[in-house]
Structure 1
Amino acid sequence: MKDGHIIVIGAGITGLASAAALSKRGRKVTVLEASERPGGRIRRLTRHGDSVEVGAQGIHSNYTEMLSLINQVGLQSELMPLQGKVSFLDRSGSLRIPDRDLGVIKLMNARGVRDFSWFAARYIAFAKRFPQFEISRDIPSYDDVSAEDAFSWAGDDFHDFLLRPMMHAMTNTTLSDTSLYHAINSMRLALSTKVFGLRTGIVTLAERLASSMSVQYSNSAAQILTAGARIDGVLLEDGRILKCDHVIVACPIEAAAKILPDELSVAKEFLYECPSAPFVLVYFFLDRPVSSEAYVYMGHPYRDVVFNMAINHSRKAPYMVPSGKAIISAWSSYPSSTNLFFQTDDAVVSQALRDMEAFFPGISGWVDEARVIRHSWGIARYVPGAYRKILEFKRHAQTLEGISFAGNDYDGVHMEAGVRSGQRAARRACEG
């Protein structure tokens, strides 16, 4: 077992989970973070005493390792159940709010109900077994086909009230751009768990973890350095060099590709070619409350627009919004988000307001402030065959000395996947 310096690149939840595991083992660890704060794509926005989640929206009840970290930093009493219901625009454009978790079934016609029963039996109750939070099993019959092709037998209601909204919310993309493997993974999580938040936002976990470790902010890694066949350290953007025995690459795949040395050409090529779905969201701080039982709004049964999903954060997490005024986030998805990413803030806001009118008639006249959030790398896009390519990459990565890769994008997007990936990387760094 080695006991030298370990560098973790990235202070998102994955990197911090990795650093926490290393610290627990008594290892010397330095975390490098390009931004000025911890949390990565998990953050909060604040305005006049109100705050709102950006990025991560919930902690699922089966996030056992993440919940363990929450306990370790003393936040267990801050866990709060998400409030409100999921609403849908029906075929006529009227807003419908089902009365329970799977009440959406009552909005479907008889064909849709039968389709759901067949889906639940085949892909939930009797599905092939695989880990929820680690990509570790090759299942060609799931991985080689798109969700669109796999569910071509289903009618419009099952597609529009369940499949398309769930892919928008869970994968930020479409059925044609998602493998059946990843669709089953995502829907299994959504249909079988309760969801919680933290009283002051999920990013509080990242802040607590970071406060007890050595994190260098506004300190980008420019290049991972090698000496012969081994990893030797990290070159920083400011020209300094930090020596180490092991590097854990826990930043988004897009950033990881840019800092790998040419000697790691196989890994570098995989990272550059990994498909992603960018995030473009708009947060509207309104001048009034929005009275509704719903906190999530889905428009897919009625229309196809750029921003076809919305969240009312004041309903979802009222403990974060003491003013009671509504905070609405508008969510785009791939492929629309790709073009949207390069538009001006004014254009993005205008598009979002047009699309929000069906959910909140009159919203254009209620906005105190609008903020646009962009991530060039939102989450990985698991097209057919993507899981197998990730498995091939993982096998190759195991042959590399002095470097480990960690992140939710290698294991199915969910935050819990990132936490567990970081912990596995920490064990490898200690044992390698």
Structure 2
Amino acid sequence: MSATGTGTGHVIVVGAGIAGLAAAHRLLRRGTRVTVLEASDRVGGKLLPGEIAGARVDFGAESMLARRPEAVALAREVGLTDRLQPPATATASLWTRGVLRPMPKGHVMGVPGTADALTGVLSDEGLARIGQDADLPRTEVGEDVAVGEYVAARLGREVVDRLVEPLLGGVYAGDAYRISMRSAVPQLFQAASTHDSLTAAVREIQAKAAANQQTGPVFMGIAGGVGSLPLAVAESVRERGGDIVTGSPVTELRREASGGWRVVAGDRVRHADAVIVAAPAPVAAALLRTESPAAATELTAVEYASMALVTLAYRRADVTLPEGSGFLVPPVDGHTIKASTFASQKWGWIAEENPDLLVLRTSVGRYGETAILEREDADLVAVSRHDLREATGLDAAPVETRVVRWTDGLPQYPVGHHARVARIREHIGKLPGLAVCGAQYDGVGIPACIASAYAAVDQIGGDLSAARELTANPVQSLHGGAGE
């Protein structure tokens, strides 16, 4: 009997986030019988569509990286082609030193190729420090290095604190001085491995990008919200005969003497030829502890950051906002919010559907910041309004607000993350008919989650090439994650 998609096997997928749903969709296209078991009462994970003041919006991730093919291709496969839309504006700002400034151009995740790119954002001393990079002795990156640590050594801490930190924080809600360069910004890691000068490495990346002349938008959204993607995938899964069971947390996963798998959820025992675990690291660790204690130990060590998204709806007549899609906030300035998205300006479909309404959102919370998220919803709305007033002058009263908390929502990628993922996959690989996927492995963005799902499908069929490729070359997530 085969679980590879030849039409004879039965695969159980644990978790109905976008990774689990993508895995189920791929399996069904290959003719495999599929059951998806989801602990919560809904599908979609960190992708959550909703409404505020009658406007359709996202309360989770709101865009997907279009330069990777997986997310856009899946959206097309499940009938969303006509709803794919790029941002109406790609112009963003940086709220730094008390002023909204245009987001600098000519950098790779905040790392400039020349000091000129950061004029106005950095002090004269900070700009001068960048110029020293060419004369410094080589800084070895070894097997991995923290982005902030390496960039600060080459260009000074001001570059990290004023630009790299807010950009990386927007993706991971993390700390740039802890985040792995190899996992989070792989193209920068590869270039830094072969250059003495960091700015020279960035210029080479930029030159290659210019030579490739990639066309089309960097990011893509979906009219009605990116949160509609998992709903459409789930509908397609069901139409193809797949079974999705919500409110069904899996409590036990064991190999059977026959070589298959025994899966317990509630009082129901199911049997499968293969299992794909598409659940967050703590859940995956608990399920794998019996059959792969080594993999479970590695997964237990994965840390997460929590955050909250505060969505505010205003009467358009009451509000005048700066142009652009929103702004990022360097933590060094001491503000509470870490970013704001002007949703009605960023996504044309929101403005078209709601011409008399203006929707924006802020994000609050970073790795290690727990006290702020323990505050009442009203307090998070109040601090968001305070910071918005300071940044933009917005002083109107919103007609409706909504706070959505993503507790332990974003896995962290510290130095050595790539090696941990390799060890997890090595341990899992010893158990035929078992694979894992999700945001804690190869990238937190939507395309990365889908890519890991497809690699898991291949793995249970005996093809490890995609999993090995992802482990060696993780997907740069940019702004495609659950944060801003």
Normalising by structure 1, what TM-score?
0.85
- The whole-number CA distance in structure 2 between the counterparts of 1:141 and 1:25 is 41
Q: Give the corresponding residue for 1:317.
A: 347
Amino acid at match of 2:30: R
- CA offset at residue 30 of structure 1? 1.0
Q: Give the aligned CA root-mean-square deviation in angstroms.
A: 3.2
Amino acid at match of 1:374: R
- The whole-number CA distance in structure 1 between the counterparts of 2:133 and 2:37 is 44
- The whole-number CA distance in structure 2 between the counterparts of 1:119 and 1:6 is 53
The answer to whether structure 1 residue 379 and structure 2 residue 410 are counterparts is yes
Q: Give the corresponding residue for 2:381.
A: 349
The answer to whether structure 1 residue 275 and structure 2 residue 306 are counterparts is no
- CA offset at residue 285 of structure 1? 2.1
Amino acid at match of 1:355: D
- CA offset at residue 99 of structure 1? 8.7
- CA offset at residue 315 of structure 1? 0.9
| Residues 393 and 332 of structure 1, relative CA distance in 2, 3 Å threshold | same
- The whole-number CA distance in structure 1 between the counterparts of 2:187 and 2:408 is 19
Paired residue for 1:232, among 252, 261, 273?
A: 261
Q: Give the corresponding residue for 2:467.
A: none
- CA offset at residue 186 of structure 1? 8.5
The answer to whether structure 1 residue 14 and structure 2 residue 19 are counterparts is yes
SS at match of 2:73: helix
Equivalent residues of 1:111, 1:157 under 8 A apart: no
- CA offset at residue 404 of structure 1? 0.9
- The whole-number CA distance in structure 1 between the counterparts of 2:439 and 2:331 is 30
Q: Give the corresponding residue for 2:150.
A: 150
Q: Give the corresponding residue for 2:174.
A: 173
Q: Where does the alignment leave 5 or more consecutive residues of structure 1 unmatched?
A: 123-138
The answer to whether structure 1 residue 305 and structure 2 residue 318 are counterparts is no
Paired residue for 1:34, among 22, 32, 39?
A: 39
- CA offset at residue 241 of structure 1? 1.3
SS at match of 2:291: helix
Deviation readout 1:211-247 (Å, 9 max, x if unpaired): 122311222222223335955222113x111211111
- The whole-number CA distance in structure 1 between the counterparts of 2:334 and 2:261 is 51
The answer to whether structure 1 residue 67 and structure 2 residue 67 are counterparts is no
| Residues 106 and 48 of structure 1, relative CA distance in 2, 3 Å threshold | same
SS at match of 2:334: coil
- CA offset at residue 40 of structure 1? 1.0
- CA offset at residue 309 of structure 1? 1.2
Equivalent residues of 2:18, 2:450 under 8 A apart: yes
| Residues 400 and 298 of structure 1, relative CA distance in 2, 3 Å threshold | same
- The whole-number CA distance in structure 1 between the counterparts of 2:300 and 2:103 is 43
Paired residue for 1:392, among 416, 419, 423?
A: 423
- The whole-number CA distance in structure 2 between the counterparts of 1:156 and 1:15 is 40
Deviation readout 1:89-109 (Å, 9 max, x if unpaired): 242x12223597869634345
- CA offset at residue 36 of structure 1? 3.1
Amino acid at match of 2:381: V
| Residues 217 and 82 of structure 1, relative CA distance in 2, 3 Å threshold | same
Q: Give the corresponding residue for 1:133.
A: none
Amino acid at match of 2:233: L
- The whole-number CA distance in structure 2 between the counterparts of 1:216 and 1:174 is 37
SS at match of 2:447: helix
Equivalent residues of 1:89, 1:301 under 8 A apart: no
Deviation readout 1:50-93 (Å, 9 max, x if unpaired): 122232232222221222212212322322111332112242x1
Deviation readout 1:103-151 (Å, 9 max, x if unpaired): 963434566667779999x9xxxxxxxxxxxxxxxx96252x3222212
- The whole-number CA distance in structure 1 between the counterparts of 2:75 and 2:170 is 24
Q: Give the corresponding residue for 1:4.
A: 9
The answer to whether structure 1 residue 105 and structure 2 residue 118 are counterparts is yes
Amino acid at match of 1:339: A
Deviation readout 1:265-320 (Å, 9 max, x if unpaired): 11222222211112222222223344321222123287122312111111111312
Q: Give the corresponding residue for 2:473.
A: none
Equivalent residues of 2:289, 2:295 under 8 A apart: no
- The whole-number CA distance in structure 2 between the counterparts of 1:404 and 1:36 is 24
The answer to whether structure 1 residue 369 and structure 2 residue 400 are counterparts is yes
Deviates further, 280-289 or 200-209: 280-289
- The whole-number CA distance in structure 2 between the counterparts of 1:118 and 1:408 is 37
Deviates further, 192-201 or 418-427: 192-201
SS at match of 2:49: strand
- The whole-number CA distance in structure 2 between the counterparts of 1:249 and 1:335 is 25
Q: Give the corresponding residue for 2:249.
A: 220
Amino acid at match of 2:380: V
SS at match of 2:380: helix
- The whole-number CA distance in structure 2 between the counterparts of 1:183 and 1:390 is 13
| Residues 396 and 378 of structure 1, relative CA distance in 2, 3 Å threshold | same
- The whole-number CA distance in structure 2 between the counterparts of 1:199 and 1:313 is 12
Q: Give the corresponding residue for 1:414.
A: 445
SS at match of 1:223: strand
Q: Give the corresponding residue for 2:454.
A: 423
Q: Where does the alignment leave 5 or more consecutive residues of structure 2 unmatched?
A: 108-115, 190-204, 210-216, 464-484
Pairs within 5 Å for 1:92-131: 93-97=98-102, 105-109=118-122
Equivalent residues of 2:53, 2:313 under 8 A apart: no
Equivalent residues of 1:290, 1:326 under 8 A apart: no
SS at match of 2:232: helix
Aligned residue pair count: 412
- CA offset at residue 410 of structure 1? 0.6
Deviates further, 24-33 or 227-236: 227-236
Aligned residues with identical type, % of pairs: 24
Paired residue for 2:58, among 53, 58, 61?
A: 53
- The whole-number CA distance in structure 2 between the counterparts of 1:382 and 1:183 is 7
Paired residue for 1:254, among 266, 276, 282?
A: 282
Q: Give the corresponding residue for 1:204.
A: 228
Equivalent residues of 1:224, 1:231 under 8 A apart: no
Normalising by structure 2, what TM-score?
0.76
- The whole-number CA distance in structure 2 between the counterparts of 1:73 and 1:117 is 50
Equivalent residues of 2:179, 2:412 under 8 A apart: yes
